Amino acid sequence: MTAAPSAARLRLAVIGRSGQLAQALAEAAAGDATLDLAGLGRPDLDLTQPATIRPALQAASPTLVINTAAHTAVDRAESEPDAAFALNRDGAAALARACADLHLPLIHISTDYVFGGPSPGRACREDDPVAPRGVYARSKCEGEQAVLAAHPGAVILRTAWLHAPFGGNFVRTMLRLMGERDELRVVADQHGSPTYAPDLAAALIVMARRLGAAPQDPALHGVFHLAGSGHGSWYEVAQATVADAVALGRRAVPVHPITTADYPTPAPRPAWSVLDTAKIARHYGLGLPLWRDGVRRCVGRLLAP
């Protein structure tokens, strides 16, 4: 005889299936017997086709929705702004509307790139003024506002500089380039909060449980930051990646610091988008390990025999 499912059982619908964070969530949930996770993605649920959203949610019948889907190609977004806004703003809003109609709590993932202005001389807090630069950043920033307008009870979770053993990310790129080049030249004047996606996924599940248990608690709503602890530049992340790979037997490759001006890109990047995570520590009791430790674990998994 099978036990009846507990009324408090968490049933997560994760929008996005093949993305870094979506995969990290699926992996975290696979080891957790107390929750069910449905990854909802194209073609069944396409955020740019609003008619597909509600039926997919109803079929999955979740207790809470996490939106990881986004147009994340920061440079490509400059040449396809319509696609970026269609997904990051309008698609996110359509999902939020459907969740509000179905009385489903929603955690919508956003980005540190909403901060593109001068450094405030400290980490950026949730109530600091946003200053997005570039299409990706503006589309995500307008997406936050559109989500909150459609679903005032939604939670916006800004994270940063994601890396994981899967998907396309900076750590994987550095490991590939170590095998192809005799030296690496990496931008040292952009500072952020590198985040290991599996750490974020584990924290998101805790968050989802808290929010699912107290969906009306106003302290759990609004905008939050969650990212790896400490801060670093891309140059420092590259140095860390190389050091960890060398410790695991890879050939050493020197890493040289360069400036943003030495490495022009179609989309501008913030010089300082380090996230202050004190608010989520206060309201949810959550914090992530040091980013340096996340890089070590990521490289360890990628280079495991």
Ligand X SMILES: NC(=O)c1ccc[n+]([C@@H]2O[C@H](COP(=O)([O-])OP(=O)(O)OC[C@H]3O[C@@H](n4cnc5c(N)ncnc54)[C@H](OP(=O)(O)O)[C@@H]3O)[C@@H](O)[C@H]2O)c1
Active site residues: 136
Any idea of the CA torsion for 252, 258, 264, 268, to the nearest 10 degrees?
100
What is the residue whose two structure tokens read 């070590």? 296
Rounded least distance, CB 194 to ligand X, Å: 9
Which CB atom, from 229 or from 246, has the smaller least distance to ligand X?
229
Closest chain position to ligand X (CB): 19
Other C-beta atoms lying within 10 Å of the C-beta of residue 259: 10
- Determine, following the binding rule CB under 6 A, whether residue 87 of this chain makes contact with ligand X: yes
Q: Which residue among 19, 134, 165, 198 contacts ligand X (CB under 6 A)?
A: 19
Subset of residues 34 to 63 that bind ligand X, contact rule: CB under 6 A: 41-42, 46-48
What's the count of helices (H) and strands (E) in the chain, helices before strands?
10, 12
Separation CA 64–CA 55 (nearest Å): 15
Please, which residues have CB within 8 angstroms of residue 77's CB and are 6 or more apart in sequence? 71, 83, 84, 134, 135, 136, 139, 267
- Determine, following the binding rule CB under 6 A, whether residue 68 of this chain makes contact with ligand X: yes
Which CB atom, from 171 or from 178, has the smaller least distance to ligand X?
171
Q: Which residue among 38, 57, 60, 72 contacts ligand X (CB under 6 A)?
A: 72
Rounded least distance, CB 160 to ligand X, Å: 5
- Determine, following the binding rule CB under 6 A, whether residue 160 of this chain makes contact with ligand X: yes
Length of the chain: 305
Using the rule CB under 6 A, give the single segment among 158-166, 231-239, 246-254, 290-298 that binds ligand X: 158-166
Which CB atom, from 162 or from 211, has the smaller least distance to ligand X?
162
**Mind giving me the DSSP string for 206-255?**
HHHHHHHH-TT-GGG-EEEE---BS-EEHHHHHHHHHHHHHHTTPPP--E
Separation CA 302–CA 91 (nearest Å): 33
Q: Which residue among 111, 193, 241, 277 contacts ligand X (CB under 6 A)?
A: 111
Rounded least distance, CB 181 to ligand X, Å: 22
CA atoms within 13 A on the CB side of 34: 6
Subset of residues 134 to 153 that bind ligand X, contact rule: CB under 6 A: 140
Using the rule CB under 6 A, give the single segment among 15-23, 27-35, 202-210, 262-270 that binds ligand X: 15-23
Using the rule CB under 6 A, give the single segment among 67-75, 116-124, 256-264, 272-280 that binds ligand X: 67-75
- Tokens coding 300: 């360890």
Binding stretches for ligand X (CB under 6 A): 16-22, 41-42, 46-48, 68-70, 72, 87, 91, 109, 111-112, 140, 159-162, 167
